[in-house]
């Protein structure tokens, strides 16, 4: 009886968070589109900087609500994964291109270099969700590196797994964060939510893979970090995301 009540209360809480996040999300889109429109009409104006601040904050709110929606889906076990056969090569190339476009569009960090030697890597899983994982890792690599840094993406086949590595030569992983890197709200970033890696871990594990990270060896005073995830070359079946709590 007690258990049933607790479960009901927990479901009501998840539903409330879900509805609240959806409701918060709805007004963000028109703000984003209209600010973007007004901004392009006001190039060179003194208000340009203010509009950039509005845009940046609206985007941050959008990321936060999207992340909260994903976390509620994961924790209520309703994040379903598609089963698609796809080439990781294309997902990696597209993600790198998206990040490059963002870099050229107003981001102050310049001269970032991306290295990737495209290689066919066929896997089975949810292409959109794997792309989300890559966006997250590459954006983190970008965010925690300084101007002129190099981000290298690599793939290799080991046993029956494809291992993807995203390496940067930035500041390295903060020792306080390291032990709880993949748990919720572990963040050392002013603009971050600390939900990204938690979502990545749940997505990758639901594909039967693993995700981990290490600090690189110190070279010329630069350390940097490498994040890896593995995906089975052929997942026999995909399950719903069952949350891992850490």
Name the residues that contact ligand ADP, by CB under 6 A: 136, 140-141, 144, 168, 170-174, 177, 181, 186-189, 192-197, 225
| 112 neighbors 142 (Cβ within 8 angstroms) | yes
Task: Tell me how far apart the alpha carbons of residues 31 and 36 are, in angstroms, rounded to a whole number.
Answer: 8
Window 105-144: residues binding Mg ion (CB under 5 A): 140
- At 144, list the tokens: 């925690």
106: Cβ–Cβ under 8 A, 6 or more apart, which residues?
A: 52
Q: Which residue is nearest to Mg ion (CB)?
A: 196
**Cβ closest to ligand ADP, residue 76 vs residue 171:** 171
154: Cβ–Cβ under 8 A, 6 or more apart, which residues?
A: 116, 117, 164, 165, 167
| 67 neighbors 18 (Cβ within 8 angstroms) | no
Q: Which residue has the tokens 């005073």?
A: 221
Q: Which helix (H) or strand (E) holds 228?
A: strand 225-232
Q: Which does 71 bind (CB under 5 to 8 A by kind): ligand ADP, Mg ion, none?
A: none
User: Binding string, 192-211, against Mg ion, x = CB under 5 A?
Assistant: ----x---------------
Residue 193 C-beta: closest distance to Mg ion, Å: 7
**Cβ closest to ligand ADP, residue 172 vs residue 232:** 172
**Cβ closest to ligand ADP, residue 154 vs residue 187:** 187
**99 lies in the site for Mg ion, by CB under 5 A:** no
Residue 210 C-beta: closest distance to ligand ADP, Å: 17
Residues at the site binding Mg ion, with contacts judged by CB under 5 A: 140, 196
């Amino acid at each position: 009886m007690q258990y049933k009540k607790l479960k009901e209360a927990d479901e009501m809480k998840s539903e409330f968070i879900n509805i609240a996040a959806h409701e918060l999300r709805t007004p963000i889109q028109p703000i984003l589109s209209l600010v973007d429109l007004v901004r392009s009409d006001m190039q060179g104006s003194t208000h340009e900087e203010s509009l950039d601040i509005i845009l940046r904050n609206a985007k941050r709110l959008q990321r936060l609500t999207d992340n909260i929606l994903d976390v509620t889906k994961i924790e209520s076990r309703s994040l379903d994964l598609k089963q698609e056969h796809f080439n990781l090569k294309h997902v990696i190339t597209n993600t790198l291109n998206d990040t490059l476009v963002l870099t050229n569009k107003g981001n102050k960090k310049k001269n970032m270099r991306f290295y990737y030697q495209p290689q066919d890597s066929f896997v089975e899983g949810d292409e959109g969700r794997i792309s989300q994982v890559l966006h997250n890792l590459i954006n983190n690599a970008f965010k925690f590196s300084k101007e002129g840094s190099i981000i290298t993406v690599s793939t290799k086949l080991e046993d029956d797994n494809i291992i993807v590595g995203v390496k940067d030569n930035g500041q390295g992983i903060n020792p306080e964060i390291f032990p709880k890197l993949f748990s919720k709200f572990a963040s050392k970033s002013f603009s971050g939510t600390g939900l990204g890696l938690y979502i990545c871990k749940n997505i990758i594990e639901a594909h039967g893979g693993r995700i981990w990270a290490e600090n690189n060896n110190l070279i010329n005073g630069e350390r940097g970090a490498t994040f890896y995830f593995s995906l089975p070359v052929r997942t026999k079946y995909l399950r719903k995301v069952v949350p891992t709590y850490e």
